[in-house]
Structure 1
């Protein structure tokens, strides 16, 4: 089904470039077999599929950190467009991917396996390098005789390999297309070397350590040896050899040595995800508590924070609160501590204390995503639907592509008995997951409940017209 959907999305553009004229060459990083507009269209199809089929980490603290790190690197990346869509896949395996249309995704497992922020950033820099050099389009240049089915199949494989084991993605592509898809998914050796070189330049220009890249590659190589026949996801599409590790090590050593301190925030988010992927909350508590008892625990505050998160998950709420208040005494303005303390207070149903904490934090950090999200959750839990709607409407304006926010807004609108608001929020969620038929139904129901000629009726009617036009265009394709 996904393959057919992508064929419909891609085939008109592909046909327009066939016929009497020969296929154009790529010519560097611009133009070529796949235009930037087509790459953007592919990116939208990929995101719709990920939203429908992949488990994502919606935690605003994780997303906010990833966004801050990516946009620290972006000014040093030679991208034509610096507007990116970020995805965090809920998987403990090492993986990251860059998809045409400026989509950058990581697995939660990348945080687990990258022991330093420099190592973590090196993977992001490498993926930004792939995007900047349009390696997807340049790879297609080597397959100029490919039929539209192969192109669509390759995109379907990219989607599946981004969110599952790569061989599962390839197995989903029928029959004779599998080998072509496998060849297209794997970056060539020259593309990998180019992404390594440019990625290290991005790291250095961003004030980060290029040596993080070979260090991260060595971690992946060790994992590959330990896992035997089960290759880490990342290596299935980014082939890695010992000679490539040696080459990146040699190249990294050409950069000046310096002091590259990790941010505290990286290790806090890493600890948060270590708790998420622990076999049980009790084991997480024991592990962090044991590590904290060591005489010189590395990143002690992150360990204490991890313990606090584990205690919340284990319903030891008063102990968690005590740990977090101590952390805040040492670092009063840190948003991650404040938001997590609010989580502990909410779990104790102390909504007023949580609300006051977050409102005070929002005054100091206007518009902050994790704080505003937590305030919305507090108001929903406390039964204050209209206030929750206000916070969520603000978030959907700032982050319109975060589909889970639209579901939260629909829930809050339902609690507030705003049925039109429920339909509108559900319609926007449907649009993001590619269900245009569902979006049209929701908008028509909203339209029917509004008096004709009112400002809101006009807004809904205009949106319905836009979505209906997009649906008609899809059906014509």
Structure 2
């Protein structure tokens, strides 16, 4: 995050000093920052995030966060808008919203919450910030329509919201106070996000008392911490007022016993396996299993299987995968890891069979789609992989990872035109428009391809060039 803060820092400081006060809650931020601008800003920031070492590119963890996120979004004021959730590899307890409906979740938050409802309560709060356009209003307060000025503020907001101290580390102490006043959500914004977030939690069948329990947990963490307030409290101000307000709202609300999903437990084990060196993680999960020091045997077995996999001890991973499937042979996360492990261990036929059966039962699980395509290519079947991906891309039109896999498949089959065409789509969906145009120009210079493929390529190249010109004119 520090690199992102530095990127636009000087532009931001120049504009921050003369900025006007924030618009009132009744103002329309669309008059200054359009929906297209917000989405474009979000995509630009996501491009930089995806190329940083903090972005966690793990389809299983990202898929889980999006499933729980979509459940909440469907019961929110932005149910019809495109909201995307992503994961930041950071041990601090935090989550943050970006312009355009992008919501980031720290791995530390997923690990530290005591229940799935607590995790949902934090996501609901961030969804409420999106639904009420709080980030857009902060950007609109600059009274600038230039994309550079807005991008500078947006990146500074990202640094502040995601880590709390990252932006302060990028600037001098004298400048910190000035900028922080512009970045922190106002008392009204936080109260509004709490109120709407509580409704989202209630309507999504989570325990609404988890909102209070999470805030109390943060309070206890602060009181016992020598390092001061955790990131969540630094980036979500007016904490004690918010806690009192939530307690008043929940005074007569009944308690619900909402059990955690098995995927919540599996995802936590998957994150835990990646927080240390693989061999240390192996020993950690081995000890937990042997001492029966767990709340879920399946999640602990999953953690050990994944740790063996990361340590490239595929024979041991295969043994644990069989044991894991003995405990539960129906969960798609279990099936996906078992299938990957079997293929890596050389048991290709059984591994592909598990993938195919899992996809028949769970056709909309993106991690299974990605895993199966990779397994086909790793086992020497790139043509089958390309054919499979062709069908899946109709369903996942904006998924850059599928286009990257498709490009790899075409490369393995020797089809250079379609290799570069697919790589262009991958770049475009990651926000790298110039690289996408370059790939299409390389593909155009290639002599192969039929009339339809070449015509389609020419049309897409013209579309990208026009888009680049439009963005430059903004």
TM-score (structure 2 length as normaliser):
0.86
CA deviation profile, 1:351-401 (whole Å, cap 9, x unmatched) = 222112111222233343222211111112112222222333444443343
Q: Which runs of 5+ in 1 are unaligned?
A: 12-17
Structure 2 residue matching 1:105: 3-state secondary structure: strand
In structure 1, C-alpha distance between the alignment counterparts of 2:142 and 2:10, rounded to whole Å: 22
In structure 2, C-alpha distance between the alignment counterparts of 1:259 and 1:292, rounded to whole Å: 27
In structure 1, C-alpha distance between the alignment counterparts of 2:422 and 2:201, rounded to whole Å: 40
Corresponding residue for residue 158 of structure 1? 157
In structure 2, C-alpha distance between the alignment counterparts of 1:305 and 1:185, rounded to whole Å: 40
- RMSD value over aligned CA atoms? 3.2
Corresponding residue for residue 8 of structure 2? 3
- Residue in structure 2 matching 1:313, options 304, 310, 315: 310
Range that drifts further, 117-126 or 416-425: 416-425
Residue 100 (structure 1) shift? 2.0
Corresponding residue for residue 299 of structure 1? 296
Structure 1 residue matching 2:8: 3-state secondary structure: helix
Q: 1:294 to 1:4 in 2, by over 3 A?
A: closer
Corresponding residue for residue 71 of structure 2? 72
Residue 197 (structure 1) shift? 1.7
For 1:24-423, what aligned pairs fall within 5 Å after superposition?
A: 27=26, 31-53=30-52, 55-79=54-78, 81-139=80-138, 143=141, 151-161=150-160, 165-170=163-168, 172=170, 179-225=177-223, 228-229=226-227, 231-239=229-237, 241-277=239-275, 279-294=276-291, 297-423=294-420
In structure 1, C-alpha distance between the alignment counterparts of 2:175 and 2:421, rounded to whole Å: 41
Question: Does the 8 A contact of 2:325 with 2:338 survive in 1?
Answer: no
- The answer to whether the aligner puts 1:444 opposite 2:444 as a matched pair is no
Structure 1 residue matching 2:166: 3-state secondary structure: helix
Q: 1:177 to 1:411 in 2, by over 3 A?
A: farther
In structure 1, C-alpha distance between the alignment counterparts of 2:339 and 2:450, rounded to whole Å: 44
In structure 2, C-alpha distance between the alignment counterparts of 1:140 and 1:84, rounded to whole Å: 19
Structure 1 residue matching 2:85: 3-state secondary structure: strand
Structure 2 residue matching 1:88: 3-state secondary structure: strand
Residue 121 (structure 1) shift? 0.7
Q: 1:173 to 1:299 in 2, by over 3 A?
A: same
Residue 273 (structure 1) shift? 0.7
How many positions carry a matched residue from both structures?
461
In structure 1, C-alpha distance between the alignment counterparts of 2:389 and 2:170, rounded to whole Å: 38
CA deviation profile, 1:10-54 (whole Å, cap 9, x unmatched) = x9xxxxxx9xxxx98662677454333332232222222223335
Range that drifts further, 329-338 or 123-132: 329-338
Q: Which runs of 5+ in 2 are unaligned?
A: 1-5
In structure 2, C-alpha distance between the alignment counterparts of 1:304 and 1:453, rounded to whole Å: 50
In structure 2, C-alpha distance between the alignment counterparts of 1:468 and 1:74, rounded to whole Å: 34
Question: Does the 8 A contact of 1:217 with 1:245 survive in 2?
Answer: yes
Corresponding residue for residue 3 of structure 2? none
CA deviation profile, 1:120-144 (whole Å, cap 9, x unmatched) = 1111111111111111234456x46
Corresponding residue for residue 15 of structure 1? none
Corresponding residue for residue 14 of structure 1? none
In structure 1, C-alpha distance between the alignment counterparts of 2:455 and 2:52, rounded to whole Å: 34
Range that drifts further, 428-437 or 194-203: 428-437
